[in-house]
Structure 1
Amino acid sequence: MTTHQENFLGELPFGSLSDWLVAPVRMALLNLTLQLELPDILANAHSLPGIAACLEKNCGRPADESRLASLMDGMAAAGLACKKDGTYSNSHFAQEYLRKGSPVFLGDLVASLTGMQHRNLACLRERLFAGESDAAAGEVKPETKLRDEGHWKRSLAGLAAYQKAGAADALARLVTELPGAEQFSSMLDLGCGPGITALRAAALLPKLHVTLCDFSVVLDTARAEAEASGMAGRIGLRHGDFNTVELGHGYDLVWACQSLYYATDLHAFLTRVCAALRPGGLFVSVHEGVREGVSPAVLVLSRLSLAMEGQDVSLRHGQMATAAASAGLERIRVQSIPMLFGEADMEVFQKPYAVSKDGGA
């Protein structure tokens, strides 16, 4: 038996090629599923004629029955639907996260991330060879700049759903496991977004008052979330870019989750964070650190489009620890936690206690 014959009896040595070829099909199915609101339809209609009737009502034109069957089978194959005895229903994923009526609808998040991660895929070659003279090819539109306040306003619905879908609860539990957390009375959340993580942490720690720091258009949503959860009396707001806004002082905890990509000078900023902590207070960073520019692979690939337009904001592995140490913070704990685009490092730093002249604390 030849080597080639042996390979064909097991896995093909080039079998992963199918993953590359099928990936765009999955994305196209997800986009069309959301555009047609098929998860909302499948919550009530399960037969092909019933699904077709709903589509015609929503879209104003009839769908080809044979092609609809192929589309529904494709959805089932992709995990967006389930099929049994010729009828269709939502998969758990679609029922929970892709129905517009769901409180954790992630369609807005998909739209926001697709806009960032896919917009240059059709012009990677042009981006690669664009020189300084090719202004149009290298131009980044104001509304697509990651530091633009309007960008974050447009992203809010998706971010809120992402946090409510489980991310906020998981991160809030990590806050409660920090050293001395039960005695925390003050927390600053830098680049808080909708603020749901900090609000969930406050719900678990009765003594905790949280200060939310972000752009004003973002804090409007955070304030509404606090009011809706009955936590309005336990929050404070610091409006503006955290690079320039006054942070305050005396915090037990300063929290930054996937936000310090936008610190204009990380060392200088963490020096300000250290000054904002009480002696013995904690600074917690939750960020991915890219190793050699190639891993975590899913993170690198998700930001390739941004990188090709000069907007790669990724942090290098170890960059946060180095900047924190130079700012006077001591790392006391680090652990890996799963996030949407790969593992992130949760690094816990402590501001030293004051040292007396005789060397005692």
Structure 2
Amino acid sequence: MNIDRYLNMLLEGQKTEVLGVALNLKIFKSLEEENHTFNSLAVKLELNPHNTKVLLDALVLLDLLYKQGEFYKNEALTKEFFIEETKGYCGDVFLHRKEMLNHGKKMLDTLVKEGCGALKDSKHPKKWAGAAKRFLRQEQENLISKVALDTVTRLKEFSSAKKMLDLGCSSGIVGLEIIKSHLSLQGVLYDYKEVTDVVDEHIKEYGLQNRVTTLSGDIQNDDIGSGYDLIWCSNIFYFFKDKKEVIEKIYKALNTNGVLVSVHVEIDETDKTNLDEYFYFLFLNMQERGVLKPFELSDIFEETGFRSINSYTSVEMPMTKSQIHIAKK
């Protein structure tokens, strides 16, 4: 018996910092543009040669680089996700999540001693809008949309759907990808006004102005529209004081035989297989947000009147497992 497990936890922060530094210095981009030894890369980026080698060797150990003779090369995963200005780039997602978790770590001691206090207000439309331009767009485009499309296109009701709502759409990319895949589907993308101003630009990029509109407001308090055959919502229920009220609003907004697809993290704090989920939501939980328990949403869906609820766990969403509920009116 020893405490190595807990001492080893200290090393995770160093690994995170190594990747963060590499992204900020655009190490991977430089290695993709031309062949580099540690010394030539240090000269190009004006870095300390010895510590450049230490950093590059650390990235090799993390399976982000490999060595070919004296040259350092990007691994396939690095090429796909961590080279800036490429289609699949998710470096900003990593840096944003890192910053968010670091902020939580700094606040942890205060939250334990004093509670959430002034932190209770979760409505930061301008921050959400800024994230929708970069971090959340990258995440939705490269990590979430594939899961969403796979989930939605398997529904037997999807081919006949005429109108969908992406509720709490953030960048709007998930809704846009779904609508793009269905040539006759009309769509509404809903979020705060500051966010939908960003989404309007994304709609133009997709060339879907004739089929997609935005609706702005506060989901808990404002109208979300009606006449939907499909509603997609992901990671929004944590922020509502009255989840049942919002779910009843969603139910009323759906047409008969309409389908709600809900994707959220549900945590059983007594189940050690939920370790990653528990610690990822630690800061949110300490702010007294509505971290979801297993069956919490499905029970409310049933109480609200949904006639059919199919639930399963997806391991394809970023960071943590998610529970997908497909509820039919």
Match of 2:98 in 1: 114
Q: Does 1:34 align with 2:18?
A: no
Given the alignment of the two structures, is residue 222 of structure 1 paired with residue 199 of structure 2, yes or no?
yes
Contact 1:186–1:208 (Cα < 8 Å) also in 2: yes
Residue of structure 2 aligned with 1:287, choices 264, 270, 283: 264
Q: 5 Å matches for 1:1-361?
A: 16-17=5-6, 19-45=8-34, 46-56=36-46, 63-122=47-106, 124-130=108-114, 139-140=118-119, 146-156=122-132, 157-292=134-269, 296-308=274-286, 310-338=287-315, 339-351=317-329
SS at match of 1:342: coil
Seen in structure 2, the aligned counterparts of structure 1 residues 72 and 231 have a Cα distance that, compared at 3 Å, is same
> How far off its partner does 1:82 sit?
1.7
Q: CA 1:264–1:127 in structure 2 vs 1: closer, same or farther (change >3 Å)?
A: closer
The one-letter amino acid of 1:20's match is M
> Residue type matched to 1:36 in 2?
L
Gap change, CA 1:286 and 1:306, over 3 Å in 2:
closer
CA offset digits 1:153-200 (Å, max 9, x no partner): 232211111121142022112111113211000111100111111111
State how far apart, in whole Å, the 2-side matches of 1:212 and 1:347 are.
20
| Rg larger for | 1
> Deviation at 1:81?
1.7
Q: Give the equivalent residue in structure 2 for 1:357.
A: none
Paired letter, 1:188: L
Question: Unaligned 5+ residue runs, structure 2?
Answer: none
Deviations 1:122-177 (Å, cap 9, x if unpaired)?
4534432236xxxxx9553x9xx542112212322111111211420221121111
TM-score (norm 1): 0.83
**Seq. identity, %:** 22
| Unpaired segments ≥5 residues, structure 1 | 1-11, 57-62, 132-136, 352-361
Provide the aligned C-alpha RMSD in A.
Answer: 2.3
Q: Figure out how many residues of one structure are paired with residues of the other and give that number.
A: 325
Moved more, 146-155 or 188-197: 146-155
Deviation at 1:104, TM superposition (A): 3.0
Tell me the TM-score normalized by structure 2: 0.90
Deviates more, 1:231-240 or 1:107-116: 107-116
